[in-house]
Amino acid sequence: MQHDVDEQLQILMQGTEYGDAQLAAKMRAELRERLLLGRPLRVYCGYDPTATDLHLGHTITMRKLRQFQELGHEVTFLIGSYTALVGDPSDKNRARPVLTEEQVNENARSYSEQAFRVLDREKTVVRANGEWLSKLSLVDLIRLAQNFTVQQFLVRDNFAKRMQNGDPIFLHETFYALMQGYDACAMETDVQVGGTDQLFNIIVAGRKLQEALGQRPQVGIITGILPGTDGVQRMSKSTGNHIPVATTAEDMFGKLMSVPDTALGVYMRLVTRWSPAAVQVVEERIASGALHPRDGKMQIAHEITAVFYGAEGAAQGQAHFERVFQRRELPDDMPLFAAVAGAKLVDFVVSAGLVPTKSEARRLIKQGGIKLGGVAVADTEMLLQITEATVIQVGKRKFARLTP
């Protein structure tokens, strides 16, 4: 299917966020110029393997890359095998821990496979920036650094706050923007995609280095940041408001249904495959009362789950949600555990993988979040005494069947 330049612009600029109207207009105009060249654009986004698992927030830029793919452009999924060794300070109020090459390589093993839940495997080039960054000499790094001033780094919001608070800023943290900027030069890219936390690295570092090396500066497609299931804070594993990519359709659907109504607009724009016109229709129907927010959320959850698990998985996720949470029925596919008489409940739920830590288990018990046989457990020191098959429920979505 052919799309004219205006149609491509509308699709590719949806969900972008620059924080400055003039910059947004400049990037839109430059993207239009590139599209008018009539050739596939070279597009990339980099992902540092600082952990093993990706969550839905990571896939926002992947969704944008997929849009470029569907419009016929060349997409590179860049694994930051060398930038991860430094750690991106862009959204941090303190220095990231420096990883070893072994840790980075281990984390990277599953990255591309998880990414192919969004990207077209046949149309994706996978590269690692160690290909070129490992070959830079100290003199090369000095020459790259000559294009920037210390002041340019210190006025960045996160560095400025750390300076104000008297927190340390380590010299190696300034290398990150140079390294990422050089990625664009090495691949001679037309477009780099990244979140708002990457604005400096893409717009300042990448474009400036490309100009310094005689290249036409890339267009920055800056996407908004996805809030977590609380609808407020940035999605993050550390805050517990994340939706993993490598989960189940039932879990993903259920977590999406817990997102507050106020965040539905951003989820539609950043995560679904819907066109800008389709998003507008849903928003207008909800605003007019023609579509109940709960039903709209159901449609959004179905669409997003289908992105990762297909239409059949989305249907299963919805059926599970309706059965367990709307009709309050027990799920059919509960894992089976043998309960050891006299074992502490908090120890059991952790060993069974139902709760990550004992402190979290105790917190859930105090909040009435763990039930045995449908009755909330009140005692954090409770010992298991199971005489017949019993269902344990942890939180809203985890169920298991215990046998004596």
47 vs 183: CA distance, rounded Å: 12
13 vs 101: CA distance, rounded Å: 36
CATH class of 249-326: mainly alpha
Q: Where in the chain is the domain with CATH 3.10.290.10?
A: 336-403
pLDDT digits 0-9 by tens, 190-211:
999 999 888 888 998 899 999 9
Q: Where in the chain is the domain with CATH 3.40.50.620?
A: 5-223
Identity of the amino acid at 102: E
78 vs 245: CA distance, rounded Å: 18
Identity of the amino acid at 163: M
- What is the band of 1 on the pLDDT scale with cuts at 50, 70, 90? very low
Higher pLDDT, 37 or 155: 37
Strand partners, 136: none
Average pLDDT over residues 297-315: 91
pLDDT digits 0-9 by tens, 208-257:
999 999 999 999 999 988 998 888 888 887 677 888 888 888 888 888 98
CA dihedral of residues 176, 177, 183, 185 (deg, nearest 10): -140
Higher pLDDT, 92 or 119: 119
Here the tokens at position 221 are 């497609």
230 vs 107: CA distance, rounded Å: 27
227 vs 114: CA distance, rounded Å: 20
Give ∠ CA 88-91-95 in degrees, rounded to 5: 55
Cα 388 vs. chain centroid, distance in angstroms? Answer: 42
Domain 5-223, classified CATH 3.30.530.20, yes or no: no
pLDDT digits 0-9 by tens, 18-66:
989 999 999 999 999 999 998 999 999 998 876 667 889 888 999 999 9
Q: How far is CA 378 from CA 32, 48, 94, 347, in A?
A: 62, 43, 39, 16
Whether 378 shows a pLDDT value over 50: the answer reads yes
Give ∠ CA 116-81-135 in degrees, rounded to 5: 130
Q: Where in the chain is the domain with CATH 1.10.240.10?
A: 249-326
Q: How many CB atoms lie within 10 A of CB 262?
A: 11
CATH class of 336-403: alpha beta
Q: How far is CA 399 from CA 204, 372, 390, in A?
A: 49, 10, 10
pLDDT computed for residue 306 by the predictor: 92
Contact 222, 88 (CB under 8 A): no
- What is the band of 97 on the pLDDT scale with cuts at 50, 70, 90? low
Q: Which helix (H) or strand (E) holds 221?
A: strand 219-223
pTM: 0.71
Here the tokens at position 150 are 């210390």
121 vs 107: CA distance, rounded Å: 20
